[in-house]
Chains A and B, each alone.
Chain A
Amino acid sequence: MRAIRAFGGLVLALALVAVARPVQAQAFKIIAHEGVAESELPKDVVAKLFLKQTLKFPSGTVAKPVDLVKTSAVRAQFSTAILGRPISAVETYWQQQIFAGKEVPPAAKASDEEVLAYVRATPGAIGYVSAGASTSGVKVITVK
């Protein structure tokens, strides 16, 4: 019992010292294939789609997330703002998934253009591009 209480106390202490990240002005837009029913999604749902913890949109469409490469500044912003962790932590998460035989990360594209091309062509696709990118032919998703 004492051990459980000690563990709980340690968890609480660690939670209190955990660093809270300030929300930055979004430098990206979330986009999806035009056939996706949703126009807005809660942040946690977007995060779960990209981490493959949820495999479908709330409407039931199978999601096909696509990332930018890990050297992308836009991905760094997206990772912190939506996934709530830096790219290195997301990489560690994917290592755990891969080597536990559970999931593999979304495909990573080198540029906005490649993400846009993939999202336009792939039913159920969801991705993100820099805020200034043209979004013709895709749906822009508002994050609640």
Chain B
Amino acid sequence: MRFRPIFLTLALAAGLAPRGAAAQTDFVDRFSIHGAINMGYGKSDNAQAFGINKDGTTQYRAVVLQFGYKIDDNDRVVTQLLHRWNGNSPLNTIEKDFFPIWAFYEHAFDNGVKVKLGRAPLPRGLFNEVRFIGTLLPFYRVGRTVYGETLEQIDGVVVSKPWDLGAWRVETYGFAGGFDLRAVLADQNGTTVLNNRLENSIGTQVWINTPLEGVRLGAYLHSYQPTPKYTEPDSLRGHPTTTSMFSAEAVFQRAFVRGEFSRFQSEGHKQYGAWYAQVGVKPLSQLTVAAEYQEAVFRVEPGPLPPLMLPLSKELTVGFTWARSANVSFKLEGHQIRGYDYDTAVPTIIPPVGPPFVAGIAPATKTNYILASVSVAY
């Protein structure tokens, strides 16, 4: 029953709706429904990247439905449901049709502190919380090397507090709990879909909004502990990992520039580093022309051989957005990827055949793809 959660929610809302004109007006003021659809067509000319292959795919979408209810001036509950499908991506094998990406209760204290309990959006970087809302993004997807398709929400607690310091405004977040880590790992032997549960997680995000309207800087730090599946022995427990992100953004009425850097480091010496930079201009109030460059580097440990840093991905994107209104926009974007981060196996490591037994890196695979999409938010 694909849409059962929505029907249940609507039925519940209908059942809870009070009788009487005044009561109904009050209920309408307290209850909110918002939604967003981000859907497109993609086609690549070579290796399959993020579900987009040479055949092209129209099964490319992210659909969000959000229900909120304000219990009183200080308390509310919010549920957000997500459906997403990324063409032919191996990630689809672990996708649920529609699932609650958020379900939290929030209490706002009089001193400005807010506490979210339950499954809440993870404050991480510029775009994590709004990553499915196409009308807010210059491209279909947020910088994939930095954000991936993971670390989207946290089951636990998120505490926030803004600080007004004259012309400066600082927003601070602290969070703790567990989350799902999902990724596709590809090498020359094939792809592995990673779907791990991570617990004992704790972290923070800080934003510094400068006196120059639209200019802000951010830092994020998060540590967590991989949890073995119940079928696995405890010895397979992963190493504690720390991830960080640094963000800078300047958004003006006619132009923007932003960049983010992210790093994952585990005690087992696994390392992943990625960054992107984005720039855009609005020659017309409805038209945005944007470009993005992103890179990712991964430390590979090929068995007994010395580790090496694999330049996992280098991606250049150019895109056009036509915003019919704040609620509807159309995008056309072209991507060029050079690297090893694909949905399908590509040559990665060249094993040594003789002394001094140092592994080599195979030539990078190059792929171009286009993505045309429409975004709606209401």
Q: Mark B76-115, 1 if CB is under 8 A from A, else 0.
A: 0010100000000000000000000010100010101000
| In the complex, chain A residues 59-96 whose Cβ is within 8 Å of any chain B Cβ | 62, 84-85, 88-89, 91-92, 95-96
Interface membership of A131, Cβ < 8 A = no
With both beta carbons as reference points, the residue of chain A lying nearest to B212 in the complex is identified as: A15
Total A residues in contact with B, Cβ cutoff 8 Å = 29
CA distance A84 to B252 in the complex (A): 12
Contacts of A14 in B (CB 8 A): 250, 252, 255-257
Interface membership of B244, Cβ < 8 A = no
Q: How far is the CB of B82 from chain A (nearest CB, A)?
A: 11
Q: Which of B29-37, B181-189, B343-351, B365-373 forms part of the interface with chain A?
A: B29-37
Q: Which of B127-135, B141-149, B228-236 forms part of the interface with chain A?
A: B127-135
Q: Is there an interface contact between B164 and A99, defined as CB atoms closer than 8 Å?
A: no
| In the complex, chain B residues 236-263 whose Cβ is within 8 Å of any chain A Cβ | 248, 250, 252-257, 259
Q: Is there an interface contact between B121 and A18, defined as CB atoms closer than 8 Å?
A: no
Q: Is there an interface contact between B135 and A95, defined as CB atoms closer than 8 Å?
A: yes
Q: Which of A33-41, A100-108, A133-141 forms part of the interface with chain B?
A: A100-108
Q: How far is the CB of B167 from chain A (nearest CB, A)?
A: 9
Total B residues in contact with A, Cβ cutoff 8 Å = 47
Contacts of B121 in A (CB 8 A): 100-101
Partner among A3, A84, A91 whose Cβ is within 8 Å of the Cβ of B326: A91
Q: Is there an interface contact between A99 and B66, defined as CB atoms closer than 8 Å?
A: yes
Contacts of B215 in A (CB 8 A): 11, 15
Q: Is there an interface contact between A11 and B326, defined as CB atoms closer than 8 Å?
A: no
Q: Is there an interface contact between A95 and B257, defined as CB atoms closer than 8 Å?
A: no
Q: Mark A1-33, 1 if CB is under 8 A from B, else 0.
A: 001000100110011011100000000000000
Partner among A11, A56, A62 whose Cβ is within 8 Å of the Cβ of B250: A11
Given A104-B68, A107-B29, also A95-B377 (CB < 8 A) = yes
CA distance A55 to B112 in the complex (A): 8
Partner among A54, A85, A98, A101 whose Cβ is within 8 Å of the Cβ of B164: A54
CA distance A11 to B68 in the complex (A): 37
Contacts of B359 in A (CB 8 A): none
Residue of B36, B108, B250 with highest tally of chain A CB at under 10 A: B250
Given contacts A17-B252, A88-B285, 8 further A-B contacts (CB under 8 A): A11-B212, A11-B250, A14-B252, A17-B254, A19-B254, A55-B112, A92-B135, A95-B136
28 pairs across A/B with beta carbons < 8 Å?
A10-B250, A10-B257, A10-B279, A11-B257, A15-B212, A18-B253, A19-B254, A53-B162, A56-B110, A62-B110, A88-B325, A91-B326, A92-B135, A92-B326, A95-B136, A98-B32, A98-B66, A99-B34, A99-B64, A99-B132, A100-B121, A101-B102, A101-B116, A101-B121, A101-B129, A102-B129, A104-B68, A107-B29
**Interface residues, chain A, CB within 8 Å of chain B?**
3, 7, 10-11, 14-15, 17-19, 53-56, 62, 84-85, 88-89, 91-92, 95-96, 98-102, 104, 107
